Structure 1
Amino acid sequence: MNSPFRPELAPRARYASDPDHSRGREFGPPDNAVRGPRGPFQRDRDRIIHSIAFRRLRHKAQVFVAPDGDHYRTRLTHSLEVAQIGRVIARALGLDEDLTEALCLSHDIGHPPFGHAGERALDQALAAHGGFDHNANTLRVLMRLESPYCTHDGLNLSWEVLEGLAKHNGPVAPDAPLPWALRELDAAFPFDLARWPSLEAQVAAIADDIAYDNHDIDDGLRAGFLSMDQLLSLDFIADQWRGIEARFPHAPRDRLQRELVRGQIGWMVNDVIAETQARIADHAIVTADDVRAAGAAICGFSESTAAQERRLKRFMYDNLYFHPAQLRTADLANDLLAKLFSAYDAQPDLLPDDWRRAMPDAEPERSRHIADFLSGMTDLYAIRRYTEIFGAPAAELSNV
């Protein structure tokens, strides 16, 4: 008897990605490869977890830059939480959990220090050379910069992982301008950009939304940037809150808040599972190729939940992400990274020896090389390098 709680007994759906029929890797495996009892998507996940770039996520901002508190989320803890949510959904739908987890764990590896503020700084610095996009940079890190092997650059991940990351936000229109990194990598190992990605990739993308929609509430409340009174202005939050207070009339407020966040996640996960099952039936999805050819997302929220999720996002932008203290920190972080870029451009000797020796002379490779170095920095390392170069501490960036 199959059990939904026993993954070894759960049948794989026919529309799931099949590791036995992967489209392969950019570079073939070395002749002496020691694989052990692992499939290709398991190896992909393991390569990501053991990578230096993954470890660096520990000190990269999720919401708050270089927070003083130990309990705020970072890109690393966020990625782990996305993976947990993604595996729950994948298991319920009979998808490949290893591929889903690999996508969830790696989706933010291309983020520079200071989150989206750092991304804006690098995009401005590279404006004349194709700009900077963190999703495209994720592929660049995994395919070129993270290089533990003697035979080739990159982690040499399966096509299905790279395709899912390339289409994290859905398919790319044939006439759409591509970030330079994505354009070059797609030419080397085409990602079939115009079609929808696998269901595993769609699950990873929506698990990302569910995680940051709700966990950022938790961090915002902890930091005092959000209040329950503000949250209760959303009727669907207020309805849940009243039910929680009725069930736990004597519980401390902080436990009630965590119950709220937990309930929000459960509600969204269950909605995605039910809605995706309905779309699979409506679109007569039988194979993984049917998913890619469907012409629309198969994994998603129901219409009513999608409307509420959009309202929650708008609330979070208005009250947390665009909070005056957050905007001040973003401006300081943008300025810090821009000054570091200018310093390395003017004085390449400031770069570490290995990066200095590899510095190209011509553009755009020269500026992109500096951006590669900066994008790999953690928040704390960027602050430390700024202090070393300019002889003065960076402006206070932590606002919690």
Structure 2
Amino acid sequence: MTKRAPYAADPQAHGGREFRAPGADAGGAVRAATKGETRGPRTDFQRDRDRIIHSMSFRRLKSKTQVFIAPDGDHYRTRLTHSLEVAQIGRVLARALGLDEDLTEALCLAHDLGHPPFGHAGEAALADAMGRYGSFGHNAQALRTVMRLESPYPAHDGLNLTWDVLEGLAKHNGPVTAPGWAVAQLDEAFPLGLGSWPSLEAQIAAVADDIAYDNHDIDDGLRAGFLTLEDLLEVDFLADQWRVVEKRFPHGARDRLLRELIRDQIGLMVNDVLSHTRASVKGYGSVAEIRAAGRQLAGFSPDMAAHERALKRFMYDRLYYHPEQVAAAARARDVVARLFAAYSQDAALLPAPWRADLPPDDPARARVIADFIAGMGDRFAIRTCEEIYGEMPQGLVNV
């Protein structure tokens, strides 16, 4: 078992919770059980992970786009399966580096909770609709989801996660120097130190996300027929690894070799992150020093980062901006725009619980409408648009 690193986040000394829970000390950490109390064996970071897994927003990820909008096949990835794959990679990295696996896993599982239907196409449509009301972004929406929208507890709004999880969600991609309205409002209620770098656990969650979608989106693109082996071989990094796989399995079936290629790439990226991060954190002795470092410490080496950027460019050119994908994204944006317009013009179209809490004026009113749409799955958004407008959005899916 890897020794716990001195710069690992400590579940016994975290930054507290926004709302003090029964049995918690002043900082929010759960005290040992006293007579008549049952606190259980979990750390606070394990509790956070479990709260995320049991949330409705996490379950709804099964119906949200990863690459393909409302795909017909069961084998394509969704935001839910992607989040599970990110968590698996994140746990491996955290364990090898001596970091807190539970905090890393919680961040990996929660990082996409704010994604609206239809992936980045839906996000772009909501950002356009919310442009005059403080805009919209899935990272900020993830924070809003766990702090205000998911409210299973009688004493407070939100899941009341630890500061460390909220900080990681807010700035896993680095310091937030110009927070939008949603993040600024939440930061005012529970300051998250937006100007510094986050914990290594949060940095690892971010790079695990890159590793997962860089490689697994290739798998889905091949399955859909949007990518071919010949396309992949145009990328030097992929071509080099393909030759290694062919040499190792000279008589293997092509589809199995392609899966082996993806596994090999994940392994190469993981090992590169471990090597580079270990070198970067030498001399650091606490999580506070990590946050004060002023730079990203966990990530790819310069050489691997260059390969990863080339891979991303290839994926945008050949998959994400494939003509069929672009056409589907345009139709998806239209669905989201029409839903926002309908609810803005006639609040009676909203479900009763949402109408009851709808503020009378913008921007708060628009924000609640965006919250409702952001929570939809792909197929639910399509069906709802059909119910409101009396016609099925063409070219997306037959539900």
TM-score, scaled to structure 2: 0.95
For the pair 1:140 / 2:144, whether they are aligned, the reply is: yes
The more displaced of 351-360 and 373-382 is 351-360
CA distance in 1, matches of 2:262, 2:397: 25
Counterparts of 1:1-400 in structure 2, within 5 Å, are 3=1, 10-30=2-22, 34-173=38-177, 176=178, 178-281=179-282, 284-398=283-397
Offset from partner CA, 1:264-311 (integer Å, 9 cap, x none): 000000000000000112xx1111111111111110111110110010
The more displaced of 241-250 and 179-188 is 241-250
| Displacement of 1:234 | 1.1
CA distance in 1, matches of 2:224, 2:39: 45
1:42 is paired with a residue whose SS is: helix
1:81 is paired with a residue whose SS is: helix
CA distance in 1, matches of 2:259, 2:37: 46
Match of 1:7 in 2: none
Offset from partner CA, 1:172-217 (integer Å, 9 cap, x none): 23xx3x2111010011111111111000000000000000000000
| Displacement of 1:245 | 1.1
CA distance in 1, matches of 2:196, 2:102: 22
CA distance in 1, matches of 2:374, 2:144: 11
CA distance in 1, matches of 2:391, 2:86: 38
Cα distance, 1:398–1:309 mapped onto 2, change above 3 Å: farther
| Displacement of 1:11 | 2.2
2:12 is paired with a residue whose SS is: helix
2:281 is paired with a residue whose SS is: helix
CA distance in 2, matches of 1:50, 1:26: 20
CA distance in 2, matches of 1:40, 1:270: 29
User: Contact 1:218/1:258 (CA < 8 Å) preserved in 2?
Assistant: yes
Residue type at the aligned position of 2:314 = F
Residue type at the aligned position of 1:280 = V
Offset from partner CA, 1:146-171 (integer Å, 9 cap, x none): 00000000000000000001002111
CA distance in 2, matches of 1:295, 1:392: 53
Aligned residues: 386
Provide structure 2 residue ranges, at least 5 long, that are not aligned to the other structure: 24-35
| Displacement of 1:389 | 1.0
| Displacement of 1:395 | 1.4
Match of 2:30 in 1: none
Match of 2:31 in 1: none
Runs of 4+ in 1 over 6 A off after TM superposition: none
CA distance in 1, matches of 2:38, 2:392: 48
1:19 is paired with a residue whose SS is: coil
User: Contact 1:64/1:398 (CA < 8 Å) preserved in 2?
Assistant: no
The more displaced of 138-147 and 249-258 is 249-258
User: Contact 1:172/1:194 (CA < 8 Å) preserved in 2?
Assistant: yes
User: Contact 1:329/1:398 (CA < 8 Å) preserved in 2?
Assistant: no
CA distance in 1, matches of 2:12, 2:328: 48
Provide structure 1 residue ranges, at least 5 long, that are not aligned to the other structure: 4-9
User: Contact 1:117/1:334 (CA < 8 Å) preserved in 2?
Assistant: yes
Residue type at the aligned position of 2:284 = I
CA distance in 1, matches of 2:291, 2:319: 36
CA distance in 1, matches of 2:51, 2:122: 26
1:307 is paired with a residue whose SS is: helix
CA distance in 2, matches of 1:278, 1:290: 15
| Displacement of 1:398 | 4.7
2:360 is paired with a residue whose SS is: coil
1:361 is paired with a residue whose SS is: coil
CA distance in 1, matches of 2:98, 2:40: 24
1:21 is paired with a residue whose SS is: coil
User: Contact 1:13/1:95 (CA < 8 Å) preserved in 2?
Assistant: yes
The more displaced of 199-208 and 362-371 is 362-371
User: Contact 1:41/1:98 (CA < 8 Å) preserved in 2?
Assistant: yes
TM-score, scaled to structure 1: 0.95
User: Contact 1:42/1:99 (CA < 8 Å) preserved in 2?
Assistant: yes
| Displacement of 1:35 | 3.1
